[in-house]
Amino acid sequence: MDNLPLWAQICAIFLLLILSGFFSISETSMMALNRHRLKFLASQGSLRARTTQRLLGKTDQLLSVILIGNNLINTIIPVLTTSIALRTFGHNNLVLSITTGVIAFLIIVFAEIAPKIVGATYPEKVALPASLVLAPLMRIGRPLIWFVNLFANAILAALHINTKNKRDQRISPEELRTIVLETGSFMPTKHRSILLNLFDLENITVDDVMIPRRRIEALDFDAPFEQILHQLETCYHNKLVVYQGDIDRVLGILHVRKTLSALHNQELERDTLRELLAEPYFVPAGTPVFQQLQYFQESGHRIAIVVDEYGELQGLMTPEDIIEELIGEFTTTIPRGAGSRGGWDDNGECIVAGSMPLRELNRWLHLTLPTDGPKTLNGLILETLEDIPDGDVSVRIADVTFEVMRSDDQAIRTVKIFRPSAPAKRALR
C-alpha cells in the first residue's frame, strides 16, 4: 500500500467503507425479511427468492460470512488510515487521535447505522439482490466459516444453548389478525372485514348468532285451522318450527311451500300436516359456531334448534346466520320497519326493540357494545341497571346513550339509541 499514491489509498478506504456497509445492510435485511412473503416469491419461480431462502436455511453460516467480512473490513480501515496519517504527518499524537475519531465516525454512520436503517426499511429490495453476492461468498469461505463456527458452537454447547431446533415459523390467529389489520390499502375493505370476522368466529358460540326464543316465528299445531292457514300464507319464512301447546314441545320443521302445494291436491288435515313435518335438529347451547357450521355440512340440516341443559328452547339458527357473521347481513325476507331497523335518523337517533341481539346491533349501527355477557340489548341494559325500569330511564354504556322508551314487568321492549359523538365514534372503530 505504501507504493500507491495518496488518492488511491483514500479511494481504497472509501471502497472498504462501501463493502462494510454492504455487509451491514445485508445482515439487517436478511433478518428483517418476511419469510412468508419470501416463500411465496420462491414458489413463483424467483431465482433471487430461492437463493435467499436457501441462505436463510443456514442462518449460522450466513451470519458467519457476513460478520467475518464486516469485521475484517472494519479492522483494516483503521490500519490503513493510521498508516496514511503516519506517512503524511509523522508521529503526531493529535493527528492520530483526530484520524481515529474521524474514521470511527465514518464507520459508525456510513458502514453501520445508515445501511442497517435502509436494510430494515426495505428488506425485500435489499436482501434478494444481496443473496446473489452472499451465496458465492459462502461457498468460497466455507473452510474459514467452518473453523470459526467450530469455536462458536463449542461456546454455545458449554452454555447448553441448543441451536439445532429451528425457530417456530407458525403464526397464531392473533398474529394473523394483526397482519390483516396492517394491510391498509393493500386489501379491499370488504375483504379485510370478512377475514377479521372469520377470526372472531373462533370466540363465539351459537348463543351469539341464534335468533332468540322471543323472535322465533313458530306454528302452534293445536291452533285452529283457519289461523294455521293464515299464518302459512302470510309468514315470511319458508320453514317454520311447529310446536304443540308450548314452544318447548317441538314437533318438527314444516316446509311452507310444500305444505301450500299440498293444499291444491288435497284438503289439509292435522294428520297430513304431521306427515309433512321434518325431524327437528337440536343442538346444545354453547356449541362453537365453527363446530356447528361443520355439523350443518355433515347433516344436511338447514335449521338448528338451540336448547339448554334442561331441554328448553333458547333460539333458532341457520347456516345463513353464520355466513352473515362473516360478510354482514345480505338477505332477509322480513321488511324492515322505519322505526325499528332503519338506522340513524337526521337527529342521530335510532329506535330498536329491546330483544335485538347485540352482535346484530353492533354490525348494523357500527357500535362496539360488549358481547361477552348478555346477548341482547334488553339483557345489557338490565345488567347495567340491575333492575327493570318503571318509566323513562337513560343509561350510558360504552360511550353510547340509551333511553328506555317502553318496558313491562318482564323486559325492556323499546329503546332509543343516541349516536355517539364523532371522537368517540372514531375510537370505537
Tens-place pLDDT, residues 269-306: 778 888 889 999 999 998 999 889 889 988 888 899 99
CATH architecture of the domain with range 349-428:
2-Layer Sandwich (3.30)
- Looking at residue 180, what is its pLDDT? 79
**Which residues lie closer than 8 Å to 158 by C-beta, 6 or more apart?**
none
Cα 390–Cα 393–Cα 396 angle in degrees, nearest 5 = 140
Which CATH class, in words, describes the domain spanning 206-327?
Answer: alpha beta
- Looking at residue 340, what is its pLDDT? 42
Every domain range in the chain assigned CATH 3.10.580.10: 206-327
Cell numbers placing 75: 479492522
pLDDT at residue 182 greater than cutoff 80: no
Strand partners for 231:
none
pLDDT at residue 19 greater than cutoff 90: yes
At residue 241, the 3 state secondary structure works out as strand
- Looking at residue 424, what is its pLDDT? 40
Every domain range in the chain assigned CATH 3.30.465.10: 349-428
Strand partners for 162:
none
pLDDT at residue 268 greater than cutoff 70: no
Cell numbers placing 277: 313435518
Q: Measured between alpha carbons, how far is 358 from 108 in angstroms, rounded to an integer? A: 57
136 vs 423: which has the higher pLDDT? 136
Q: Where are the alpha helices (DSSP H) in 33-172?
A: 35-43, 47-56, 59-89, 93-108, 114-121, 123-140, 142-158
- Among all chains, which residue has been given the C-alpha cell 355466513? 323
pLDDT at residue 423 greater than cutoff 70: no
| Average pLDDT of the segment spanning 68-79 | 91
